[in-house]
Chains A and B, each alone.
Chain A
């Protein structure tokens, strides 16, 4: 599943800055660079995993490509159509194609609506079908995500976390989207429920040919579900490539540290751990040069603190930050 054919989604130098307001007039005095120049593609039927620590801009990136935010700059192309800069009305047809699943199934469902009304809402907004047809579609959707059709008459509080996440998935699938943005969809769930939801997502992808942007901080989950993986640090992608390749042979020092930090469920495993010092710096006032330099265990040259590295394609389909701290495999 490499770069063959037209991607379903392509971003180019996408930037999303939040204004930081201050002073008595609440004017924007600085910018929080949550997403700062991200270029990547998602192929049809592919899962792209997006990984990084909290505050690195993963969720903002997901919400920006779903156009819940107006990007500050750069381009978002969905099947060749530019989404950045479109008005609400112009966006409406694309809303059907890109849907989101959220982390917290307790907060993303309206507690005063029945499950039927929640899942039906997208059809109502897009003025599709008669009441009877819509009811039929809701029953089919609930069945598809493994819930009984009688769930439609009940309220979200009557369901457990895993079942609520299924309701969220049913709602996201209602308009037959092509791309699902899954923002930490299993992080709030217990392990036994987590695997049920992951299986459901993989099954839906096979049956419906969906593409996923799968955002998570759980690297084992991301590895399991993704075809390719992008590692994000402070608003920028630092490494992007085939999932197996990255896990087997990470090259960016941040990816290495991230992967080595995962606790392995095997007491005989002796971790060879690279412990990073400190925290992610603030995106309001990022360090000059390479954003990772203050925590980087390699810090190969003085240039690290002055030059901002760029993401370059070092091998077909494999992108890496062009700094001296990364291991570049010699071409054979």
Chain B
């Protein structure tokens, strides 16, 4: 039965998402489970191609059609299973109760419509408002996301705004209907550090003000450390480790998490020293093995059965889950 319990706003259970390609079906998300708690931030971290964005698109049900499909699993949201919800009902949730902030603010906005029209559109879709009321509310939202002189900006087009301003508009659209869950997919990756600091601060402030839950997808461990309560580390379509942010950084147990944390240059590191590396590269989706997928890069010998059997997910301490490959998990 698709139902969330207690504190959990959303529960993803054994989600499998695949794409049909010319070379056959490839599984991009392979049995992923995690809860999202009300009002909290869950981070999903991993390198490109590990399935972070596909997980987000599955929850939002915006997979590229007709190639992308959810093959198995549940996405429980209240008493609904988003994985199988019909398109019409999904439309009443998307943009309203669950919304998304995208990476590239220029492509997320429509270049030929005024900012005000793009915010109003979401408001009119989900609320019983007049055009004038929606326009007024758009100005209010622009003000809320810290855009100076919102009554002028509301009439402008995206190209008239800077990158940071555009991302604020994207956030205004995402938050217009007061969603319970926001999925932010690399929201600051295209921005400079100074602008990133502004946007992260804004997201943090609005989140506590509006009491939203958030899924933050990023490859930047610094951003994760700063904003997330809980972290999922993804590798090759699977979650290899999930725990509170403090626990993941202080006590990483999977070899991939350890490798990631060790390979980033640190401000307090020794200059010009050799950096730790993870050998090799992320495997292509078409070449994934059923067993421990980090094995070829771990630099540790794996017995043959570990490469053919999927390692179980184990709770090794309260709230700390690891894909329990006996070689990669320490």
Contacts and interface: CB of A to CB of B under 8 A. Distances in A.
Interface of A: 47, 53-54, 160, 162, 190-196, 198-199, 202, 217, 219-221, 223-227, 243-244, 247, 257-258, 260-269, 271, 273, 275-277, 279-280
Contacts of A265: 221-222, 224-225, 249, 261, 264, 266
A279 B164 contact: yes
A209 to B, nearest CB: 14
A276 B269 contact: no
Contacts of B274: 199, 202
B278 to A, nearest CB: 4
29 contacts: A192-B47, A192-B259, A192-B260, A192-B277, A194-B263, A195-B275, A217-B193, A219-B193, A220-B222, A220-B264, A220-B265, A220-B266, A223-B269, A224-B266, A224-B271, A225-B265, A243-B271, A257-B194, A258-B194, A261-B193, A263-B225, A263-B226, A264-B226, A265-B261, A268-B246, A273-B197, A275-B197, A276-B198, A280-B192
Contact of B192 (A191, A199, A217, A275): A217
A199 B197 contact: no
Interface residues of B, number: 47
Contacts, number: 133
A267 B246 contact: yes
A174 B251 CA distance: 44
Given A279-B162, A279-B195, A190 B48 contact: yes
Contacts of B225: 263-267, 269
B273 to A, nearest CB: 8
B267 interface: yes
B219 A190 contact: yes
B223 A263 contact: yes
B264 A195 contact: yes
Interface string B223-266: 11110100000000000000001100110000000011101111
Interface of B: 47-48, 162-165, 192-198, 200-201, 219-226, 228, 245-246, 249-250, 259-261, 263-267, 269, 271-278, 281-282
A263 to B, nearest CB: 3
A276 B267 contact: no
B222 A263 contact: yes
Given A264-B226, A266-B225, A192 B278 contact: yes
Nearest to B274: A199
B237 to A, nearest CB: 16
